Structure 1
Amino acid sequence: MAEGGNPNSLRRQRKLRRWHRLVALVTSCQLLLWTLSGLYFAFIDIDFVRGHQFKRSSPLTQLDLMQLKAGLISASKIVLQERLAGELIVGVHTEEGVQWLDEQGAPVAALSGEQALRLGAERTVIKPDQFEWVDTDIPGSEYRGAPLPLWRLWRADDPDRVAYVDAMSGDVAVVRHDAWRWWDFLWSLHIMSYEDRDTIGTW
Structure 2
Amino acid sequence: MKKQQLHKFLAKTHKWIGLVLGLQVLAWTVGGVVMSWIPIDTVRGTHNVEEHAPVALPNVEGLLPLGDLASQEKGQIQQATYMTLLGHPVVRLVHLGGEVTLVDAGSGELLSPIDEQVARQIADADFKPDVPIASSTLLDAHTIDYRGPLPVWQVTFADEDTTSIYVSPAEGRVLARRSATWRLYDFFWMLHIMDYDERENFNNPLIMTFAFSAALFTLSGLGLVFFRFYRRDFNWLLGRRKRL
Partner Cα distance (1:49, 1:84) in 2: 26
Contact 1:80 1:91 in 2 (8 A): no
Q: 1:30 to 1:142 in 2, by over 3 A?
A: same
For the aligned residues, what is the CA RMSD?
2.9
Partner Cα distance (2:188, 2:63) in 1: 49
Q: Secondary structure at the match of 2:54?
A: coil
Structure 1 length normalisation: TM-score? 0.76
Structure 2 length normalisation: TM-score? 0.64
Match of 1:114 in 2: 117
Q: Secondary structure at the match of 1:142?
A: coil
Map of 1:167-178 to 2, 5 A cutoff? 167-178=169-180
Partner Cα distance (1:24, 1:73) in 2: 60
- Note the alpha carbon deviations across 1:24-55, whole angstroms, 9 max, x for none: 21211111111111122222211111000222
- Note the alpha carbon deviations across 1:50-102, whole angstroms, 9 max, x for none: 00022212331222364234125653x543322244341314276x5341231
Q: Does 1:130 align with 2:129?
A: no
Partner Cα distance (2:147, 2:28) in 1: 23
- Note the alpha carbon deviations across 1:162-203, whole angstroms, 9 max, x for none: 111111222121111111111111111111101110111222
Match of 1:100 in 2: 101
Contact 2:102 2:171 in 1 (8 A): no
Higher relative contact order, chain-length normalized (CA < 8 Å, sep 6+): 2
Contact 2:161 2:181 in 1 (8 A): no
Q: 1:60 to 1:149 in 2, by over 3 A?
A: same
Contact 1:110 1:168 in 2 (8 A): yes
Name stretches of at least 5 consecutive residues in structure 1 with no aligned partner.
1-12
Partner Cα distance (2:192, 2:163) in 1: 24
Name stretches of at least 5 consecutive residues in structure 2 with no aligned partner.
1-7, 208-244
Q: 1:44 to 1:159 in 2, by over 3 A?
A: closer
Q: 1:52 to 1:98 in 2, by over 3 A?
A: farther
Match of 2:69 in 1: 70
Which residue among 49, 72, 76 is the counterpart of 1:55? 49
Contact 1:117 1:130 in 2 (8 A): no
Deviation at 1:129, TM superposition (A): 4.0
Q: How many residues align?
A: 184
Q: Secondary structure at the match of 1:122?
A: helix
Q: 1:178 to 1:157 in 2, by over 3 A?
A: closer
Partner Cα distance (1:114, 1:172) in 2: 15
Partner Cα distance (2:110, 2:41) in 1: 34
Q: Secondary structure at the match of 2:47?
A: helix
Contact 1:152 1:163 in 2 (8 A): yes
Contact 1:92 1:98 in 2 (8 A): yes
Partner Cα distance (1:65, 1:21) in 2: 77
